[in-house]
Structure 1
């Protein structure tokens, strides 16, 4: 069966939207004449701009729908907007009440969801239970399009388009912060949305010192909410890392990560962004399962370091034992893994580069 107007609903978060990108690719390759529309929330919108496999973006502003009055006022307008597109296929890759409501309002004739549907969303879209329902979330999403007859090319790609203007602006921000073009650097992402996913400040600072000694520049990244964390790391390090925290948009951040020799961080959106732009990842995992949420892609040079605790994979935001989940992963372990990644990627750090850093 062929489709001409396809709706994808994947609203957030950043990592989840990245995980769903290969779905659009597979759909466009199978149905090249189809128009693909993606409904997304504002924080992840930039990830989808200029994408060759997505024809139209619709922003879902969830703040407008938090009250009954807002739902009545804006829901009708959204329904009119979506129904006018005459979707013959809608995919719910969020699997929540709000995504189910959007799918229902779209009026799509065929509605499918992935295997982990919650909040009664399975009553609106039929869940697809494919061969990867216990595997990585990327493959769980791809099972949905496989059920439609789509071929999934290997290796799986995550199309994020960085324009020349976005690259230039990223380089300008980096240069202003003290990162000179041509120097080798490692991106450090200390911020997470769960306390249990955090690697200690002291560990990041010690790792930064080790990297400086090898003339590899440590670069801190994150959102504005991570600025205090980055400041603490800078104050604890012998030489402050270059700090880009809160200074980049998503596409600028993608460009900065793409130029890095590797990325170090936990189970967060920036980690999955590093995977998408083909930068080797050293992922620090404890409360979540790397088989489901880890850096995707075998043979891509990614490394996962697991906490040595019997309670790992607990999926708890806060530790009931009041332990620091990841502190048993030492800076020395991560530093050795950086060396292994650089060796595998045939990357040799410069020995006589001039390094400028602003605190």
Structure 2
């Protein structure tokens, strides 16, 4: 294999899940040229990865009208076809990724097991031994189908020295070092029903204080900033560090890599924590831990007891706060087990050489 194309556009957590495919390919064919097509929102995840040679940005918003489609698609197609690909791997499995695969004209086109929106008409779905397993293993089935060894799962995030230094500086501004005992609270998520109640994070901060652990709030956007204010105001006597909106993804990655643990819902930063071997206590309701839980940490997933769990809906049809059913005591039990048991077996994440 000389030229290989991976198509995984978004979201952040999904792109993190797909990274081991790039690592497996590079390990099998170290001299191959690997191109990754990604959406703007998730581009930082693949930037500077030691397993990826070229990144092409695909902006779905440019296709919202016929005129913008015509204006955008020709230069995008030209950029895509600078190389002739031996194989394209569609790990998105949707109409938009099928368009990219079609335009790429690879000799062989494959995709992962759960392809939808007609994408299976362009790329052949690979239904391997993990078809009903974790999404990372489903993606790796595509690499295995090409002849790659997939036993050693590696997440080639590529955290640069600059990103590490910025993370260290941010910790220092808040009276911490990388050796400090801190827990990262991932307080937001794209779906409202993937967000743990702010009142519960405040209660968890009290537990942290009693165990000499510093809680760090992480997230981005207006909703997370409002949540951070609520958490801090409900626990005003506790030293809670608010880093919402203050880190890049890779700077947060370095902070997570050295954390005692992370707590949050099924969202990108929590999957990044799991990829970095940070114990990730994930509270889950609308999504399935078997498919989307913290990778190789099934013991750290907490699911609601509702019979409607795994509904995969962004809004609850019963109008309830789904994750409110998971009380802080259950998360605390997991954290106490983590403190007693130490770290998990290592899931490698090589540094960037770029």
- Scaled by the length of structure 2, the TM-score of the pair is 0.93
**CA RMSD of the aligned region, Å?**
1.6
Q: Match of 2:6? A: 8
Q: 1:116 aligns with which of 104, 114, 118?
A: 114
Q: Match of 1:262? A: 261
Mapped contact 2:279–2:297 kept (Cα < 8 A)? no
1:186 Cα offset (Å): 0.3
Matches within 5 A, 1:302-317: 303-317=300-314
Mapped contact 1:160–1:277 kept (Cα < 8 A)? no
Mapped contact 2:178–2:258 kept (Cα < 8 A)? no
Q: 1:218 aligns with which of 215, 222, 242?
A: 215
Matches within 5 A, 1:45-124: 45-124=43-122
Q: 1:340 aligns with which of 337, 340, 345?
A: 337
Q: Secondary structure at the match of 2:72?
A: helix
1:308 Cα offset (Å): 2.3
Alpha-carbon separation, structure 2, partners of 1:187 and 1:110: 42
Mapped contact 1:177–1:243 kept (Cα < 8 A)? no
1:178 Cα offset (Å): 4.5
Deviates more, 1:36-45 or 1:56-65: 56-65
2:159 maps to 1:162: yes
2:309 maps to 1:286: no
Partner deviation per Cα, 1:248-307 (whole Å, 9 max, x = no partner): 1111110111111001011000110001111111111111100000011158xx511122
Alpha-carbon separation, structure 2, partners of 1:328 and 1:8: 39
1:196 Cα offset (Å): 1.6
Q: Match of 1:249? A: 248
Q: Match of 2:189? A: 192
Q: Match of 1:203? A: 200
1:173 Cα offset (Å): 2.0
Mapped contact 1:159–1:276 kept (Cα < 8 A)? no
Alpha-carbon separation, structure 1, partners of 2:25 and 2:134: 19
Q: Match of 2:349? A: none
1:175 Cα offset (Å): 2.6
Mapped contact 1:284–1:326 kept (Cα < 8 A)? yes
Alpha-carbon separation, structure 2, partners of 1:295 and 1:182: 24
- The unaligned stretches of length 5 or more in structure 2 are 345-354
Alpha-carbon separation, structure 1, partners of 2:340 and 2:57: 43
Alpha-carbon separation, structure 2, partners of 1:35 and 1:297: 29
Mapped contact 1:95–1:117 kept (Cα < 8 A)? yes
Partner deviation per Cα, 1:102-158 (whole Å, 9 max, x = no partner): 11111111111111111111111111111211111111111111111111133x121
Closer, same or farther in 2 for the Cα pair 1:173/1:183, shift >3 Å? same
- The unaligned stretches of length 5 or more in structure 1 are 348-359
2:24 maps to 1:26: yes
Alpha-carbon separation, structure 2, partners of 1:334 and 1:268: 17
Closer, same or farther in 2 for the Cα pair 1:182/1:34, shift >3 Å? closer
Partner deviation per Cα, 1:169-226 (whole Å, 9 max, x = no partner): 1121233244444320000011111122121111110110111121100110001231
- Scaled by the length of structure 1, the TM-score of the pair is 0.91
Alpha-carbon separation, structure 2, partners of 1:119 and 1:32: 34
Closer, same or farther in 2 for the Cα pair 1:244/1:178, shift >3 Å? farther
Alpha-carbon separation, structure 1, partners of 2:179 and 2:294: 26
Alpha-carbon separation, structure 1, partners of 2:95 and 2:305: 37
Q: Secondary structure at the match of 1:186?
A: strand
